[in-house]
């Protein structure tokens, strides 16, 4: 699949899976995250041909970040991270929340489990 095709697909998916149809999708850097108003995904070149595994992995990132938009109290998480005086504990909090989100999204959308495993 061409990256340009996947990018178009993802823009539609974020609108469907996210709570707010105004959520923006940005491809930059190397990490995936959301602040509830935008989903940032790793940068990919529009002309790249992506393997099925890479497509599934990117879809998994979308499913995961949209799961945060739907189910994580992002404001409370931000406050918690600011109050925690330990990078280690802050990291663990994020790991636990990520695991919770992946399970919740997999239960809601069984097809997402395949993507999340990538």
Q: Output Rg (C-alpha) for the chain, integer angstroms.
A: 15
> How much is the pLDDT for 19?
66
- Which residues, including other chains, have CB under 8 Å from residue 40's CB and lie 6 or more apart? 26, 27, 28, 29, 31, 32, 33, 34
The pLDDT tens digits of the residues spanning 55-68 come to: 989 999 999 999 99
7-34 mean pLDDT:
85
Instruction: Give the pLDDT band (50/70/90) at residue 100.
Output: very high
Predicted confidence (pLDDT) at residue 110 exceeds the cutoff of 70 = yes
Predicted confidence (pLDDT) at residue 18 exceeds the cutoff of 80 = no
pTM comes to 0.89
Instruction: Give the pLDDT band (50/70/90) at residue 103.
Output: very high
Q: If we measure between CA atoms, which residue out of 116, 117, 118 comes closest to residue 17? A: 116
Per cent of the chain over pLDDT 90 is 57
């Amino acid at each position: 699949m061409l990256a340009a095709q996947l990018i178009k697909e993802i823009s539609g998916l974020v609108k469907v899976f996210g709570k707010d149809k105004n959520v923006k999708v940005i491809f930059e850097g190397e990490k995936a995250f959301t602040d509830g108003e935008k989903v940032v995904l790793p940068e990919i070149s529009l002309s790249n041909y992506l393997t099925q595994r890479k497509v599934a992995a990117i879809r998994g990132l979308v499913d995961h970040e949209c799961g945060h938009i739907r189910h994580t109290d992002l404001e409370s998480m931000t406050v918690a991270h600011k109050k925690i005086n330990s990078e280690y504990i802050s990291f663990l909090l994020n790991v636990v929340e990520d695991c919770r989100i992946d399970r919740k999204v997999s239960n809601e959308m069984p097809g997402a489990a395949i993507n999340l495993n990538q």
